[in-house]
Amino acid sequence: MTKLVFFDIDGTLLDHNKQLPAKTKEALQLLRDKGVYTAIATGRAPFMFADLRKELDIHSFVSFNGQYVVFEDEVIYVNPLATDSLDRLNKYASERGHSLVYMNEKMMKASRSHDAYVEESLASLKFPYPEIHSDFYKGSDLYQTLIFCGKEEEESYREQFPEFTFIRWHPHSLDILPAGGSKAEGIKKMMERLNFKIEDVYAFGDGLNDIEMLKLVGTGVAMGNALPPVKEIADMVTSDVAEDGIYLALKKLELI
């Protein structure tokens, strides 16, 4: 029976400078040469990692933290955010002076202009400030929204919007998903399509949004640069992304 390996992007496939290490690219090619099925599991929108998929020749992915799943270039599962809830969120955030960024599979739009939190957060992913379209959520299915606020302000959003799951990915920003949404749920959809057993599934990650995924799979690997809660639940901790963490772990696991 072949194996299935999922890779997070930021801090896992891509290093701290958002570059793909040569050894990581080599490792994924070695996996494919051995017939191991490779896929991406990310909080990013599909349009945000199209070039990476092309470079790695990967055609299956879990995006938006599990809300938009593609198998061999075919969409097999979507779980959009409720429009009426987004309407309430838009008003609530606006009253507090907090910006939102709305995302579908093709683009992202910002609710407000000139927000330093938006600029800094997206710059960390090497993306520019989005165009402004405060009502974008009304005309398109959205699979993830970003809220920009400090840690001391996030609890009020959790209390007001139980229909959403909030996951902090940056000191200034949180991902907003449908309640219960996670990479793990998206991976389950792909496993159903491939008919894989859980013990044959592996995953690599480093962030808070990777915890459910690493718990679900047969072998969850935390990068050396992973946050402490991620390392605590992982089956294995490898070295830093910049120190060939993926390559070394795959060797140790005898997948390559």
Is residue 206 among the annotated active site residues? no
* Contacts of 97 by beta carbon, 8 Å cutoff, 6+ apart: none
Catalytic residue among 8, 15, 206, 210: 8
Closest CA to 229 of 219, 244, 241, 214: 214
Residue 159 per-residue DSSP state = H
Chain CA centroid to CA 73, Å: 18
Evaluate whether 197 touches 188 at the Cβ level (below 8 Å): no
Q: Give CA–CA dist 230/191, Å, rounded.
A: 22
Structure tokens that stand for 139 in this block: 């005309």
Closest CA to 207 of 233, 172, 246, 245: 233
Residue 21 per-residue DSSP state = -
Q: So which residues are the catalytic ones?
A: 8
